[in-house]
Structures are given as structure tokens and as C-alpha cells.
Amino acid sequence: MPTYSPRPTEIQRAWHVVDADGLVLGRLATEVARVLRGKHKPIYAPHLDTGDHVIVVNAAKVVLTADKANRKVVYRHTGYPGGIRQELYAGLLARKPEEAVRRAVRGMLPKTRLGRQMIRKLKVYAGPDHPHEAQQPQPLEVPAARRAESKQGASA
């Protein structure tokens, strides 16, 4: 059986908007990465970018569970010898919440040219506003069971 390869004319790119208010970072990232890759479409092909555009708003209100914000470390390198820099996720979320969400999603995409092409379709904003109203984004619903407040409410 030959590998299915959708034609460029078959690929339709939609726009989705996700409100990250109260969502767990990892669960949000898996859902966003799935849509960016195109796995939610019947024409999905692993060797092509068939995914949609995703806008994440309220990135500053994303939640990390189990005190990971104070234990998990973000590393980056300046490019100079001995230039490794580290920061806790709590500091990154306070300083640049968009970067925390972008890093989480990027880690779930392919580490190739294809993954770099997919991450360009992700737009992340710390607040509730975004400049993409002309694209008429549809709300992407992350299941309510995955929201942090519903887990806290279920245990109380």
C-alpha cells in the first residue's frame, strides 16, 4: 500500500484560539501540538505539515501542578563557552509567560525542519487580546476535565 500524501490543494488551514486561563501547561501543550501537526484531520500525513494555526491567549494564567513552578528548571545557552543559563519556571512565567508556553509546545513537535515550520503557526499572547481577528479564529475547546480548577473542585 503506498504512503498517502495529500496534495497542497487538499490542505485547508483553519485558525483556532485557546484560552489558557487555568489550564495545566503540559495538557495545553499536547492539545496545541496535536492541532499544529494536523493529527485531528483525516488527511494527516507524518511527513507533511497539514496542521492549523493556533492562537493561545492568557498565557500568563497557565498553571503548573505539583509545585513544578518552583522545582522545574529552564536551561538556555548564550552560545559562548560556559554560557549556560538556568531559571526556574516560576521566574520564566513571571517574566515571559509566552516563552514558557512556546517551549512546552515546541518540545512536543518534531525536531526537524518540519517542526520548525509547524511552530511558526503558533501565536502566543500573555493577555486576553490578539491581533488575529481578521482570520476569524474558532475556539478550540480543551476538555473541562483537564482544567486545573476542575481537578481541585473534584477533590474538595
pTM of the shown model: 0.85
According to DSSP, the β-strands at 73-77 and 84-88 are: antiparallel
The topology (CATH level 3) of 14-63+92-155 is Ribosomal Protein L13p; Chain: A; (3.90.1180)
Q: Which of 61, 28, 57, 29 is nearest to 124 (CA)?
A: 57
**Joined grid coordinates for residue 8:** 497542497
Who's near 142: CB < 8 A, 6+ residues apart?
Answer: 18, 23, 27, 28, 31
Pairing between β-strand 15-19 and β-strand 73-77 as defined by DSSP bridges = unpaired
Q: Mind listing the pLDDT tens digit of every residue in the chain (156 residues)?
A: 887 889 999 999 999 999 999 999 999 999 999 999 999 999 999 999 999 999 999 999 999 989 999 999 999 999 999 999 999 999 999 999 999 999 999 999 999 999 999 999 999 999 999 999 999 999 998 875 455 555 555 544
